[in-house]
A and B are shown apart, each in its own frame.
Chain A
Amino acid sequence: GQQVMQIPQYQHVQEGEDFTTYCNSSTTLSNIQWYKQRPGGHPVFLIQLVKSGEVKKQKRLTFQFGEAKKNSSLHITATQTTDVGTYFCAATSSGSARQLTFGSGTQLTVLP
């Protein structure tokens, strides 16, 4: 199936520092989604990006979709302890049998 690589696997930051996670694909993506999973919980949808070069913001979170639609990033400004969790990107394959593939996730720890 489609491969989506995500880095870093782990990130520890001091509260107030910024955080970024990156996703890369060898193939062009039709769209990309981002999810957050709190410790002990289930993934929750954050946003979907569709257009080449698209940038969307949700308060302190900024999401970008690359010009070639092969990479994406999530940036959190001034992290808070409530940002703790694992952030996943996900992409669907093209065609009639749509496989939703998740990246390996970035586990964010915010130190108070």
Chain B
Amino acid sequence: DGGITQSPKYLFRKEGQNVTLSCEQNLNHDAMYWYRQDPGQGLRLIYYSQIVNDFQKGDIAEGYSVSREKKESFPLTVTSAQKNPTAFYLCASIEMGRGRTEAFFGQGTRLTVV
């Protein structure tokens, strides 16, 4: 069953802690993206990666870090430097080619700082 898997679905973090959100895909897509969504708002791009061992900052990268050691995996770390981390985080892998662009999203991770 192909798709994007994000885990965990819900995550609680104490202030000052780093947490890592998992994102795995078996769609063989080169491009993977992380977005943040706040209640009633749109999707803001955090980081994206076009290929293994390479990634670029999006519009709101401060306080976040990523790695792309494998094609299938693109974990996101929310560091203690992120001042307002409570949000819904969405990972996507994107099929780009043959003139087609389509993003496939995971189910998301709801992060709450307690």
The 16 listed contacts between A and B (C-beta, < 8 Å) are A1-B59, A33-B101, A33-B102, A35-B103, A42-B108, A43-B105, A48-B102, A92-B96, A92-B101, A98-B50, A98-B96, A99-B45, A100-B94, A102-B35, A104-B42, A105-B42
With most chain A CB atoms within 10 A of its CB, the pick from B42, B45, B96, B106 is B42
A90 within 8 A of B: yes
A85 within 8 A of B: no
Which B positions have Cβ atoms within 8 angstroms of A? 31, 33, 35, 40-43, 45, 48, 50, 56, 58-59, 90, 92, 94, 96, 99-108
B33 engages A100 (CB within 8 Å): yes
What residues of B have a CB within 8 angstroms of the CB of A1 in the complex?
A: 45, 58-59
What residues of A have a CB within 8 angstroms of the CB of B92 in the complex?
A: 100
B58 engages A33 (CB within 8 Å): no
Interface size class of A (residues with CB under 8 A): 20 to 34
Give the distance to chain A from B15, nearest Cβ to Cβ, in Å. Answer: 26
B90 engages A42 (CB within 8 Å): yes
Give the distance to chain A from B43, nearest Cβ to Cβ, in Å. Answer: 4
Give the CA-CA distance A43 to B58 in the complex, in Å.
19
Known A-B contacts A88-B43, A105-B42; the reply to A98 vs B105 at CB < 8 A is no
Which A positions have Cβ atoms within 8 angstroms of B? 1, 6, 31, 33, 35, 41-45, 48, 50, 88, 90, 92, 96-105, 107
Which of these, B40, B99, B101, B107, contacts A100 with CB under 8 Å? Answer: B101
Give the CA-CA distance A42 to B6 in the complex, in Å.
11
Which of these, B56, B59, B99, contacts A50 with CB under 8 Å? Answer: B99
Known A-B contacts A33-B101, A48-B100; the reply to A97 vs B56 at CB < 8 A is yes
Give the CA-CA distance A43 to B56 in the complex, in Å.
22
